[in-house]
Structure 1
Amino acid sequence: MFQRLPGIYKSIWKRAVNRETITYGIAGALTTLVNYAAYYIFCNRIGIENLIANIIAWIIAVIFAYIINDIWVFKAQMSGIQSEFIKVIKFFGARLFSLIVEEAGLFLFVDILSWNNLVVKAALAVIVIILNYFFSKLYIFNKRSIEI
């Protein structure tokens, strides 16, 4: 397959498809499943208001995502309590941005336009996964940004 691709495409393919992006995709899918399941239970089964259920699901999913991304995807090494604390703050801060995006989308499409909350939540998950990958790769688990 690679023999037929011109050099530029090989380079793009190797950068886009590697252990890190594949494991991030799996971790993102698992995190999305945790988020979606928690949201479904809190919103559709227990009856907690849409945006509050999303925040609770977000907290659960972000804790799960931090652990799986730190250990499995980016294979970050513990480099001291201060560095680890900074990494946790950066991770939650970046995820807070994606929570705001998700909350705005849920508010607009579910609360105002009355679209199905589970369909909207699933569509927003795609946007959130992409945002979170770039924040994780470039800002949080970037080896240069961890060093103090």
Structure 2
Amino acid sequence: MSEEKKEQIDAIKKNDRDQAQRYIVWGVVTVLINLSIFYILAHTLNVEYQVANFVAWFLSVQCSFWFEKILVFHHESKHVVKDISKFYGTRILTFLIESVILWLGISVLGFHEVITKIIGHGLAVLGNYFLSKLVVFKKIVVGDSI
């Protein structure tokens, strides 16, 4: 392998590592937003847990889109509506998965709401990273269609 190829591979690895680190930092902020809203609604205001989960999800996804677009992936698309549509589409998928986990954990198995929420949301966050990187904010290679 040529020295130039090694340098390119190293640059790609560094970029991926930096993106993952930024995703973790801003993901923690987003998770805290999500959990805080869920806790306030479900425990302080006694809102039904699925409604509380939806409101927490919607508001945290809005924050997450802008964090990821600007701060994590440095995505410079001029098609914000298209990007946000794809973003919400992928988030709907992981929201549905999280909702099933909440239903199973809370309603079927009787686990604690917040602990179940943390587990379900953790799995959703993992899926969200890969969907954001590979679907929503993927780099367009010259010759690819937009």
Q: When the two structures are superposed, what TM-score results if normalisation uses the length of structure 2?
A: 0.85
**Equivalent pairs, count:** 135
SS in 2 for 1:18: helix
Match for 1:55: what amino acid?
F
Which segments of 5 or more consecutive residues in structure 1 lack a partner in the other structure? 1-10
Q: Which runs of 5+ in 2 are unaligned?
A: 1-9
- Counterpart check, 1:113 vs 2:113: no
1:56 aligns with 2:55: yes
1:24 equivalent in structure 2: 23
| Closer/same/farther in 2, CA of residues 106 and 20 from structure 1, 3 Å limit | same
Change (3 A) 1:69 1:147: farther
Letter in 1 for 2:30: T
Q: How does 1:1-148 map to 2 (within 5 A)?
A: 14=13, 18-79=17-78, 83-144=79-140, 148=146
Superposed CA RMSD in Å reads: 2.3
Could you list the structure 1 runs, at least 4 aligned residues long, displaced by more than 4 angstroms after superposition: none
- What is the CA-CA distance between 1:27 and the residue it aligns to? 1.2
After superposition, the C-alpha distances for 1:124-145 in whole angstroms (9 at most, x for unaligned) are: 1221111000100000001229
SS of structure 2 residue aligned to 1:143: coil
